[in-house]
Chains A and B, each alone.
Chain A
Amino acid sequence: MNQKKQNKEKKYSFWGDTWKRLKRNRLAMFGLFIIGLLVFCAIFADLIAPYDYATQDLMNAYQGPSLQHWFGTDEFGRDILSRVIYGTRISLQIGFIAVGISLIFGGFLGAVAGYYGGKLDNFIMRVMDIIMSIPSILLAISIVAALGSSMTNLMIATGISYIPSYARIVRASILGIKDQEFIEAAKAVGTSDWTIIIRHILPNCLAPIIVQATLGVAFAILTAAGLSFIGLGIAPPTPEWGSMLSTGRNYIRDYWHMTLFPGLAIALTIFALNVLGDGLRDALDPKLRG
């Protein structure tokens, strides 16, 4: 008994093993660090930000980076660093909630399509194909146009446009698993379909979903910032990175710092999520490694 217990402790679990491999990937760890930093900024924005994000100080407008204002000030004299810090809240919220929407709906549709197959599968996947025949940013634009531009609608719009990719992944994973013996065994003892899907199938296709979700947060943040940039997303007073860029664009001839920093925040976030996603893909599936 004692011997058995020791053996168990020495063995790495699947997640422990993944973590071990991920730790060796320096770029992915850098990504993880940046994301941790961003989450920290989002949660403690009130404590970290040197100034309030909305307080105007017209005497100090358009100032370049200095010791008082590391990232300079905008056209109303608001501190850009503080606005970028508060912006993490908005972007991360949009990213995570949008991915949540596409994950729940896409996962459900993909699971149903893959598990039941037949006509239902055909119908669901054709609808997904049609959604995919519209480039996702255009679909998001159309949805925002229909619903009106607000933060909630932005999340819904980006969320809906990425449903098909999750549906496909979940469906493909289920197709690969559903005929294996352990599923048959579960069916034989009378487990209900949904219990089988949730308890036995989904945990087995978690790896590709995690990778896609990590990259998905990046897509969602990028799409939302892009929509705000062209004036279809979050309107200016809110410190959203895309809309800060859009404002900065008006002063591009004289005040470059107004476009540099919000853009840098977007690019760094996307970069971090991309390298983490890539790293996770390698770590979760050693077979795929080049």
Chain B
Amino acid sequence: MFKYIIKRLLMLIPILLVVTFVIFTLLYITPGDPAKMILGQTATEEAVAELRAELGLDQPFLIQYLNYMKDLIFHFDIGTSYTTGQPVIDEIMNCLPATLKLALSSILIAVVVGVPIGVISAVKQYSIFDNIVMVLGLAGISMPVFWLGLLLIILFSVRLGILPASGYSTWQQMILPAVTLSAQSIAVVARMTRSSMLEEIRKDYIRTVRMKGQTEMRITIFHGLRNALIPIVTVIGTQFGSLLGGAVMCETIFSIPGIGRLMVDSIKTRNFPIVQGGVLFIAIGFALVNLLVDIIYAFLDPKIKAQYK
């Protein structure tokens, strides 16, 4: 198991190399001169040239990329922000807690709400509850994060005035962003739980357990759900990726200073080091979540654990 984790972590290296290369190339070919951006329209030609040399922007592409990678690997340095002059890593670290808080609370809500709904729906298939949940689920999947956020603000902040529409420090401020971001995941998790449970509770071993006189509650949770968990965990893992994307919208709507908003602002000001760093961080986060999902598989299914060597 330990060996497997090490192997997976090592496999991250080529992925990150290529991700950095792709993002670096993309932003290299981007029109617009960052040096001019920093100094403003009124700057003299000499000043711009000087700054370009200072930032290393006058070097050929490959040298720039190699320098970037050298700093990344040996000094854990991914450049300095063009606008503030701060190291990119610091800027990202400042924004990371807000994004993490938002993403984690959303995924928590998605699991706590989505899984039970899916289980009840499966057990009571074709009941009124099931029908309502399935239609709501489809609606939830179709709901754009940014529109839902605005609607919730209109209802709870503007009309009812019971929840704040921005900020992220207190739990009251977190409610609207977290609910907004989790809505889609709740729907996806509930739908997946339902279909996975439906498949599981029809199997023969469930009938055997029932004949043994086990209570329905125990059958559903300890036998059915326990064995239906693998697809559910998978879908929660993939949801994390779309949550990170949705976080960009959510942070914009609720004025939360997270990585998503940092990146969007940086794109608008052509602050490339931040954009590169942000994508790199998110790619790492996404890869780690996938690894975590694979590790959880091992705990859920001994057959899978036997394969991890």
- A and B from one complex: yes
What is A's interface to B at a CB cutoff of 8 Å?
27, 127, 129-130, 133-138, 141-148, 218, 222, 225-226, 229-232, 242, 245, 248-249, 252-253, 256, 259-260, 263, 266-268, 270-271, 274-275, 278, 290
Interface class of chain A by DSSP: helix
Q: In the bound complex, what is the Cα–Cα distance between A148 and B29 (angstroms)?
A: 11
Residue in contact with B242 in the complex, picked from A135, A218, A259, A266, CB distance below 8 Å: A135
CB neighbours (8 Å) of A225 from chain B are 144, 146
Which among A135, A222, A232, A252 has the highest number of chain B CB atoms within 10 Å?
Answer: A135
B18 within 8 A of A: yes
**Shortest Cβ distance from B295 into chain A, in angstroms?**
17
Interfacial chain B residues near A141, Cβ < 8 Å: 248, 263-264, 267
Q: Cα distance A248–B158 when bound, in Å?
A: 14
* CA–CA, A96 and B241, complex, Å: 24
A145 touches B267 (CB 8 A): yes
Q: Which residues of B contact A226 (CB under 8 A)?
A: 144-146, 248-249
Given the contacts A266-B147, A267-B144, A274-B138, A146 and B27 also touching, CB distance less than 8 Å: yes
A138 touches B282 (CB 8 A): yes
Q: Is B275 an interface residue (CB 8 A)?
A: yes
A-B contact count (CB 8 A): 127
Please name the residue on chain A nearest to B135 by beta carbon.
A27
Interface size on B, residues (CB 8 A): 46
Known A130-B15, A145-B26, A145-B27: A135·B286 in contact at CB below 8 Å: yes
> CB-CB contacts of B234-253 with A at 8 A, as 1s and 0s?
00000001101110110011
CB-CB under 8 A for A256 and B154, given A130-B19, A138-B279, A249-B253: yes
Complex A-B: 12 CB contacts under 8 Å:
A129-B15, A134-B19, A135-B245, A136-B245, A138-B245, A145-B267, A146-B27, A229-B146, A252-B153, A253-B158, A266-B144, A290-B195
Q: How far is the CA of A255 from the CA of B18 in the complex (A)?
A: 47
Assembly CA distance A146 to B30 (angstroms): 4
Cβ contact within 8 Å between A248 and B150:
yes
Interface centre among A138, A245, A266, A278, by most chain B C-beta atoms within 10 angstroms, is A138
Residues on B with C-beta less than 8 A from A290 are 195, 198-199
The reply to whether B142 and A274 contact each other, CB–CB distance below 8 Å, is: yes
User: Is B209 an interface position by the 8 A CB rule?
Assistant: no
> Bound complex: CA of A68 vs CA of B198, how far in Å?
51
CA distance A146 to B267 in the complex (A): 9
By a CB distance below 8 angstroms, the chain A residues around B286 are 133-135
The CA-CA distance from A260 to B147 in the complex, in Å, is: 8
Contacts of A146 in B (CB 8 A): 26-27, 29-30
> Does any Cβ of A come within 8 Å of B108's Cβ?
no
Confirm or deny: B31 has a beta carbon within 8 angstroms of a beta carbon on chain A: yes
Chain B positions within 8 Å of A133 at CB level: 15, 19, 283, 286-287
Q: Which residues of B contact A137 (CB under 8 A)?
A: 242, 245-246, 248
CB-CB nearest in chain B for A225:
B144
Contact B283 A230 (CB under 8 A): no
Closest 3 CB pairs of A and B: A137-B245, A263-B147, A271-B142
What's the nearest-Cβ distance from chain B to residue A286, in Å?
16
**Residue pair B144, A230 in contact (C-beta under 8 Å):** no
B100 within 8 A of A: no
Please give the distance in Å from A225's CB to the nearest CB on chain B: 6
